[in-house]
């Protein structure tokens, strides 16, 4: 081993890829020990594992995924099942999950069911055939869903399982609404109304409950429930002004609603936030940042939610399962619709 390292012979076409025997030689261990260290198997000292991994890094060695799977009995792949065809909620969740999974050298397989139970069953069978190590289940709504029947660990992200024994990671919608109202109260607003989505949607109900809790006597009318749309913002504002002509703040259940409110206020010649401050919910860039003025809104922190879900799934795959419901905090993003330019 001249120069303290293995000799990697080359051909006329260039250097061959390093092998496990090269890594073992550089680390001063047997090929079997090197394989165990890189695959995370066997009872090895942390010092030995670190030395082997450093040797692999120096040589640019990439373990063969097929051999890794055969030696460990794992596929090193995780499935993500979603009902969110638009990707508005599932893409940030997927991004966070990939951040956590890639650190553990796991691959993510995305399956969009389009809210079709038959398609979901097909994907579950397909993922089972691929012998995925675990599954993340997510969607576009926060209503609890029936658990999936698979033989691997499952974590539910954004929309929880109806089984309290399952591991579910969700957004704290209620606290997000409380943050928005407290922000407005801190700015001196005292005539607040709330416009939100369908009352049958859990997220709308949770957000309305947070507004009622935080606003107290500053809530000038009962919450208005409707649809998640700019139209609701425009029409809802007109109704609110008839009942509360001196309103000075509108807390909206979504950024779409808030953008409609801002557009209607501008048409009526009322300044935002000079006369009326407006807050949204979701921090959806296409709405929040393009609104006139840009919206103060509540960020659901879905990337962090995806990351936490993946970390919990990795724990379960490693034999350390978690149970129950985990609520993650939201974050208020203050912009011109409450603070001014």
- pLDDT tens figures, 222-267: 999 999 999 999 999 999 999 999 999 999 999 999 999 999 999 9
- Confidence band, pLDDT 50/70/90 cuts, at residue 2: very low
Cα–Cα distance for residue pair 44/136, rounded to 1 Å = 31
What is the average per-residue pLDDT within 278-297?
96
Mean pLDDT of 207-215: 98
Q: Judge if the upstream peptide bond of residue 273 is cis by omega within 30 degrees of 0.
A: yes
Gap between the Cα atoms of 323 and 329, Å rounded: 19
List, as one string, the DSSP characters of 100-132.
HHHHTT-EEEEEE-TT-HHHHHHHHHHHHHTT-
Match 């009962």 to its residue by tokens: 222
In this structure, the strands spanning 154-157 and 297-299 are unpaired
Extract the tokens encoding 211. 């507004």
Tell which residue, 286, 304, 306, 305, has the closest CA to residue 295: 286
* 101-145 residue pLDDT tens: 887 678 899 999 988 999 999 999 999 998 999 999 999 999 999
Tokens of 60: 């640019």
Strand partners, 325: 168
Strands 14-15, 134-138: pairing is: unpaired
Tokens of 202: 């859990």
Q: Cα(341)–Cα(329) distance, rounded to whole angstroms?
A: 28
Could you tell me how far CA 302 lies from the centroid of its own chain? 3
List Cα–Cα distances, 194 to 46, 202, 312, in angstroms: 56, 16, 36
CA atoms of 167 and 18, how far apart (whole Å): 41
Neighbours of 268 (CB within 10 A): 12
Instruction: Compute the distance between CA of residue 138 and CA of residue 167 in angstroms, rounded to an integer.
Output: 12
Tell which wins on pLDDT, 29 or 85: 29
pLDDT exceeds 70 at position 65: no
> Partners of 327 in the beta sheet?
170
Residues 141 and 295: beta-carbon distance below 8 Å? no
What integer pLDDT is reported at residue 60 of this predicted model? Answer: 81
Q: What is the pTM of this model?
A: 0.78
Instruction: Classify strands 134-138 and 154-157 as parallel, antiparallel or unpaired.
Output: parallel
Q: Given this model, what pLDDT does residue 38 score? A: 75
* pLDDT attached to residue 228: 96
Average pLDDT in the chain: 89
The alpha carbon dihedral of 27, 32, 37, 38 has a sign of positive
Our measurement of the distance from residue 254's CA atom to the centroid of its chain's CA atoms, rounded to an integer in Å, reads 17
CB-neighbour burial class of residue 284 (10 A; exposed 0-12, middle 13-18, buried 19+)? buried
The predicted structure's pLDDT at residue 44: 79
């Amino acid at each position: 081993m001249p120069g303290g390292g293995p000799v990697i012979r080359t051909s006329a076409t260039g250097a061959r890829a390093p092998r496990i025997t090269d890594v073992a030689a550089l680390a001063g261990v047997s090929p079997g020990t090197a394989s165990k260290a890189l695959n995370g198997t066997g009872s090895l000292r942390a010092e030995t594992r670190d030395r082997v991994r450093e040797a692999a890094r120096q040589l640019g060695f990439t373990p063969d995924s097929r051999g890794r799977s055969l030696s460990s009995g794992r596929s090193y792949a995780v499935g993500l099942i979603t009902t969110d065809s638009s990707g508005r909620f599932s893409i940030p969740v997927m991004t966070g999950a990939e951040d956590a999974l890639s650190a553990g050298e796991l691959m993510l397989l995305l399956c969009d069911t389009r809210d079709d139970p038959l398609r979901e069953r097909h994907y579950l069978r397909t993922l089972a055939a691929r012998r995925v190590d675990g599954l993340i289940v997510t969607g576009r709504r926060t209503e609890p869903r029936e658990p999936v029947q698979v033989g691997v660990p499952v974590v539910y992200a954004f929309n929880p399982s109806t089984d309290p024994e399952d591991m579910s990671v969700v957004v704290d919608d209620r606290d997000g609404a409380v943050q928005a109202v407290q922000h407005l109260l801190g700015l001196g607003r005292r005539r607040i109304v709330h416009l939100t989505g369908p009352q049958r949607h859990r997220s709308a109900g949770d957000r309305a409950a947070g507004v009622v809790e935080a606003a107290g006597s500053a809530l000038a009318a009962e919450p208005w429930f409707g649809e998640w749309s700019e139209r609701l913002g425009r029409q809802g504002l007109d109704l609110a002004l008839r009942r509360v002509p001196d309103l000075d703040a509108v807390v909206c259940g979504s950024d779409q609603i808030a953008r409609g409110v801002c557009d209607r206020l501008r048409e009526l010649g009322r300044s935002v936030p000079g006369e009326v401050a407006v807050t949204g919910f979701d921090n959806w860039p296409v709405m929040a940042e393009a609104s006139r003025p840009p919206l103060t809104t509540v960020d659901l922190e879905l990337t962090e939610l995806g990351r936490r879900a993946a970390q919990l799934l990795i724990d379960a795959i490693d034999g350390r399962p978690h149970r129950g419901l985990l609520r993650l905090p939201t974050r208020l993003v203050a912009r011109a619709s409450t603070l001014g330019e």
